[in-house]
Amino acid sequence: MDPGVKYIEIPAHLSKPAGTPGSRLLEIERAKASFSSDDLTLYLHGKEHLERVKRILPVLENEPAFDKSRIHFMSRTDKFKAGLAKEKRLAQLLTELDWSAKDHALAEDMLDWPAAFGLHNRWRLPRHGPRPVRSKRNEEQAPEQLETDRTFFAGSYRSMFLKTLAEQSNEEQLKLFYEPAKNFEIIGCYAQTELGHGSNVQGLETIAVYQPESKTFKLQSPSLTAMKWWIGGLGRTADHAVVMAQLHTPDGRDGKLVKRGPYPFVVPLRDVKTRELLPGRTIMDIGPKAGYAMTDNGAMLLDNVEIPHINFLARWAKVDIETGKFEKPVNARLSYGTMTYIRANIVQQARMVLARSATIAIRYCAVRRQFADRDAPVLDGNKPAETQVLNYQLVQHRIFPPLVQAFACHYTGKEMFRLYEENQTAMADGDFSRLADVHASSSGLKSLCTIMASGAIEECRRACGGHGFSLSGGLASFYADYLPQVTWEGDSYMLTQQVGRYLFKTFRVLLADRDAPMSSENRTRDYILRYISDPEAKASAKYAGDLADPEFFIQAFGHRAAYLTATALRKRDIERRTWNSLLIDIFRMSVAHSQFVLVYNFARAIKTDKDLQSQPALLRIMTTCFELFATYTMDSEAAEFLSSGYISPKQHELLRNRVHALLADLRPQAVPLVDSWGIPDYQLNSALGRYDGDVYPAIVRFAQAEPLNKTRFNVNIHETELEVGPEMGQSKGSKL
C-alpha cells in the first residue's frame, strides 16, 4: 500500500492532515484496552503460528515478485503475468527455504493472490491434512511416505489436481502423475464444472468410453454446454487436467455400453516442452470476472481425444484393461469426510474474512471524524470539532457484529476440525454414526458463514464512506475475490437442503423413539428432544441480567431450530407438500441450526475453555463478545423467536436494549480487539486499515501512483486526438 512511483508531488507545507493525527487517535484507543492484545493474539493463534508469521512475513515483504503496491493499477493481462511470476517464485522458495505445507499455506494467506497454479489454494489445512479413509478390503498397501504426501496438497497450489491424484491414484499412477505434478514437472488443473452444469455432478455431459480393442478411453464433449468451464488454471497455464467425465464401459448385456457415472481421468492438454495444444483440445481463458484477475479460469472442449487405460484413476473404481469390466468403489460415503474437511476450512477462513473486514473498518472509523457531537469524548484535553465516526451507535451496529462473528467462527471452526478428526477415526473403524450430523452441520455452516462473511465485507466497506469505494481501501477488491465462496463447494442457498433432509430425518426418528441410538455427542438430538418434550416452552428472562447466562441462548436457539423443523415437517408429512414448496422453510431451518451451532460452541468456550478460565481479562472480553454475538443474532432473527411464542414482545425489547448497551460496552475495546487478530499491514493491503493510523497520506500516495497522471489529455470535442502530451506538473502558487 505504498506505491513506489509518484508522478505528482505534494507541496511539503501541505503534506500534513488537519487535527489530531490518526496515529495519535489509535494510540489513545489502544490505551483503553481492558486486556492485553498480545495475550489474546497468542490465545487465538498459538505460539507456533506466530513464530511462523515472524519467519515467513519478512520474506514476502522483501520479495519483489510479491510487491503489492502496483497490483491495482495493472490490466488483467499484467495481473495474470504478475500472478504467474508469483507462482513461480513461490514454488522456488518452497525448495530454497524448505518451507513446510503450513509455511506455504501461511504465505498464500498473507499474499492473498489466488493465481495461475491453483484456484483452490484457499482451501487448506491450518493444522493437519485430511486423512483419506482407507477401505480395508480394497486398499493396496501404500508406503508411509505416500500417506504424508496424500495430505500434502492441503496447503498447496493446484490443490484439487494434486488432491485428486493423491486420493484416487493407484501405486503406478502415483509415480506416473502425482510425483511429477508435485515437483512442478507437470502443471495441472481439475476439470469438473461444465458450461451448462454447475452444482449437479451427475448431470455432466462429457463422455469417456472405454475401448478394449485399443486399450484406450475416448473422451468427447457432446455439445457446447459440455464445455469444461470455470476451471482454475486451465485457461493458459495447465498442461494436464483431471477431467471428470461420464464413464461408459462395454460390459453390459451383449457387450453394450453401460453408463457408470462421473469418474476422474488424467488428460494431457499441451506438449510440456513446446506448450503447444495437443490435437482435439479447444482451450481458452474465459475472460474477466468480478475478481480473481490473476487466475486463468479456463474452458475446454474435448473432441475425439484418446487416452491410455492407465489415465483412468483407479485406486477405488476399476476398469479391466482387457474386458472393460467395471468394478465399482466400495464405500461412497467416504468422500463426505473430505467435504466436511473443506467446509471446516471455509468456516475457519470466514473467521479471518470477518476479522479483516472489521480491522479495516474499525481502525478507519476511529481515525475518521464527521460532524460535531455534543456528547463526544474530549481528546488530549480539547473538544474536537468533529467526532470519531466510531462513536456513532449506528456505525457500531454495522461494524461490531463482524468482529464478534469472527470469534464465533473461530470456536466453531476449531470444533469442526475436532469433529472431522473424530469422525474420520470412527469411520475408519466402520462407525458411521457421526457422519450425518457432521455433514449436515458443515453444510449449513458453509452456507451461513460465507453469506455472513461476504455481507460483512460489504457492510464494512460502506461504513468506510466514500474512501471504501477506492481500491486503496482494500475492501472492494477483497469482496470481489471472496464472492466465489458463496457459490462454489455447494451453492450456499441450494446447499441448505442437506441440512433440511438431516433435520427432518432426525426429528422423525426421535418423534417415533426418543431413545433411538445416535452418537453420544449429538447436540441436534438434544435440542430436538427438549422441544418434543415441551414444544410450548417460553424464555424465562425478565431482567437484562438474565441475558448474561450463556445457557439462555443455547436453549433459545435450540428451541427455534426445532420449532422451525417441526413446523416444516408438519407441512411435509401431514399436509404432503412438495419438497420444492418447502425450500424457503428449509433455508430458514438451516440458518437456525447453524446459528445454534455457532452459539453453542462459543458459549461452551466461555464456560469451559481452560486457557480462557486462567486469564480473567481475556475471559471478560470474550464474554462481552459472546453476549453481543448472541443478542445481536437473536435480535436480527427476532421474528422467528416471537412467532413461536418463545419470547414475548417485552423480552424482545429487553434483548434489543441489551444489544445497544453491549455496543457501548465494546466501543472502547474495539481497536484493541481487532489488533488481537494480528493481521499484518502486508496482508490487509489497505490505506484505511493501517496499524499506524496514518490513513490520509497513504490514500494520497495511492493516487500519486495512478498511471493516468503521467498524461495531459485533449478535451476539445472537435478533435479526435485524446492525448496532448506528458503532464508537466505544477509549480508553487501565484496570482491568476
Residue 86 CB, shortest distance to a copy of itself, in Å, is: 11
C-beta of 19 vs 668, nearer to a copy of itself: 19
Phi, psi of 153, rounded to the nearest 5 degrees: -55, -20
Please give the Cα distance from 243 to 264 (Å, whole number): 5
Please give the Cα distance from 679 to 413 (Å, whole number): 18
C-beta of 163 vs 270, nearer to a copy of itself: 270
| Sequence ranges of the binding site for FAD | 193, 232
C-beta of 520 vs 734, nearer to a copy of itself: 734
Look at residues 302, 238, 311, 231 and name the one whose alpha carbon lies nearest to residue 270: 238
The three-state secondary structure class of 60 is helix
C-beta of 230 vs 326, nearer to a copy of itself: 230
Q: Are 177 and 266 in contact (CB under 8 A)?
A: yes
Residue 19 CB, shortest distance to a copy of itself, in Å, is: 7
Rg (CA), the chain: 28
Residue 181 CB, shortest distance to a copy of itself, in Å, is: 12
Please give the Cα distance from 410 to 351 (Å, whole number): 6
C-beta of 545 vs 649, nearer to a copy of itself: 649
| Sequence ranges of the binding site | 193, 232
- 73 HSE (CA, 13 A, CB side): 19
Look at residues 498, 496, 476, 477 and name the one whose alpha carbon lies nearest to residue 486: 496
| AA identity, residue 379 | L
Q: Are 155 and 105 in contact (CB under 8 A)?
A: yes
Q: Where do the H-state alpha helices sit in 299-392?
A: 335-367
Record the cell numbers describing residue 18, joined without a space: 488537519
The three-state secondary structure class of 227 is coil
| AA identity, residue 333 | R
Residue 368 CB, shortest distance to a copy of itself, in Å, is: 8
Look at residues 455, 361, 468, 354 and name the one whose alpha carbon lies nearest to residue 405: 354
Record the cell numbers describing residue 659, joined without a space: 444489544
Residue 42 CB, shortest distance to a copy of itself, in Å, is: 35
Look at residues 93, 1, 91, 105 and name the one whose alpha carbon lies nearest to residue 53: 105
Residue 435 CB, shortest distance to a copy of itself, in Å, is: 23
185: annotated active-site residue: no
Look at residues 330, 307, 321 and name the one whose alpha carbon lies nearest to residue 207: 307
C-beta of 487 vs 555, nearer to a copy of itself: 487
131: CB partners within 8 A, 6+ apart: 147, 151, 424
C-beta of 35 vs 123, nearer to a copy of itself: 123
What region, left, alpha or beta, does residue 143 occupy, with left being phi > 0 and alpha being psi -120 to 50 degrees?
A: beta
C-beta of 62 vs 716, nearer to a copy of itself: 716
Counted residue by residue, the chain has a size of: 736
C-beta of 438 vs 460, nearer to a copy of itself: 460
Please give the Cα distance from 6 to 710 (Å, whole number): 10
Record the cell numbers describing residue 538, joined without a space: 417460553
Residue 191 CB, shortest distance to a copy of itself, in Å, is: 14
What region, left, alpha or beta, does residue 275 occupy, with left being phi > 0 and alpha being psi -120 to 50 degrees?
A: left
Please pick, among 167, 415, 489, 627, the residue that the annotation labels catalytic: 489
Residue 123 CB, shortest distance to a copy of itself, in Å, is: 17
Q: Are 602 and 409 in contact (CB under 8 A)?
A: no
Please give the Cα distance from 408 to 529 (Å, whole number): 25
Q: Report the C-alpha dihedral over residues 123, 440, 454, 118, rounded to 10 degrees.
A: 20
| Three-state SS annotation for 389-402 | HHHCHHHHHHHHHH
Which residues are catalytically annotated? 489
